Amino acid sequence: MSPIVGLKLHTPVPHKPIGRSIHMKTELNKVPGPESAVLMDLASIRRLTLGDFGRDMTPAEFRHIFEVCDALWLHSGDPKAPHAELTSGRCSNGFVDVLRVLRYSNLCEIMAGQLVRQLRKHYDGNVDWVIGSDHAGATLSFAVAAQLKAQHDFTEKGEGKTQTWKRFAIQPSEIVLQVEDLITTTGTLQAVREGVRSGNPNPMSFAPLSLTLVHRSPTYEFEGAPIVYVAHYDIESWDPKDCPLCAGGSERLRPKQNWARLVAAMRT
Ligand SMILES: [Zn+2]
């Protein structure tokens, strides 16, 4: 039997079988344990709520949700299986598009809840602002801010790879938490921080950590503070001339156009 977990956020079912309690019991019965969540299809996943995850999501659950949302592909290790051609032209043994998960607003809220759980393991101080980058970082950082009852805005794309902040002045006493959906390099973290610093008239006070949902970087610190994440994946990329998968005869495919073929190769 699957253990029923994550019930703490629900009101206990009253003994009297009045109409409302029957409804609540139905809600309780659908709360997934880690073993059942990994079997859910997309329709079931889209019915999950924040209250279903009053616990840390397991790595298997996290990966399953991402895979069902077509948001994650990892090479199987079979040298003949196809691999990914990134927009940059580089080859890779993995592909992550967090926005494909965050577009489902219930999953955005659930993933924000997982970030808050990680945050509180490392930092129990005030958070006055939660900020993120344009684009996927904007919705996710909003969802985190909502759970922390913090203020929120996101930086907007500027020229080149810059991020600009121009709508609010943050007070020097206010603690700012930076949240990203994905960290591959720390380039976006740096661009947001530079944008918010140059767009504010006051000196900034940042929380002593940065948060990301998916970490696929070799770097675990930013400006001397830890990068705290929910999931880490070792994903490598290579210039095609140095790619061991190309050298081994694996076909390289653009993920968006060849998603079904990549996924089929992952599951065999
Ligand atoms: Zn290659």
**Token couple for 143:** 């969802």
Residue 246 C-alpha to ligand 1 middle, in angstroms? 4
Residue 78 C-alpha to ligand 1 middle, in angstroms? 13
Give yes or no for a contact between 213 and 182, defined as CB atoms under 8 angstroms apart: yes
- Indicate the pLDDT class of residue 220, thresholds 50, 70 and 90: very high
What is the sign, positive or negative, of the torsion defined by CA atoms of 204, 110, 4, 233? negative
Exposure string over 195-224, b if 16+ CB within 10 A, otherwise e:
bbeebbeeeeebbebbbbbbbbbeeeebee
pTM confidence score: 0.85
Composition of the chain by helix, strand, coil, percent to 5: 35, 20, 45
Q: Is the pLDDT assigned to residue 208 strictly greater than 70?
A: yes
List the domain boundaries for the chain: 105-235
- Indicate the pLDDT class of residue 19, thresholds 50, 70 and 90: very low
Residue 101 C-alpha to ligand 1 middle, in angstroms? 27
- Count other C-beta atoms under 10 Å from residue 77's C-beta: 8
* Per-residue pLDDT, 58: 94
* Per-residue pLDDT, 28: 41
* Per-residue pLDDT, 267: 66
Q: Is the pLDDT assigned to residue 187 strictly greater than 70?
A: yes
Residue 209 C-alpha to ligand 1 middle, in angstroms? 35
* Per-residue pLDDT, 37: 81
Residue 83 C-alpha to ligand 1 middle, in angstroms? 7
Residue 238 C-alpha to ligand 1 middle, in angstroms? 7
Residue 90 C-alpha to ligand 1 middle, in angstroms? 7
Question: Which listed CATH number (3.40.50.1820, 3.30.830.10, 3.40.640.10, 3.40.50.2020) goes with 105-235?
Answer: 3.40.50.2020
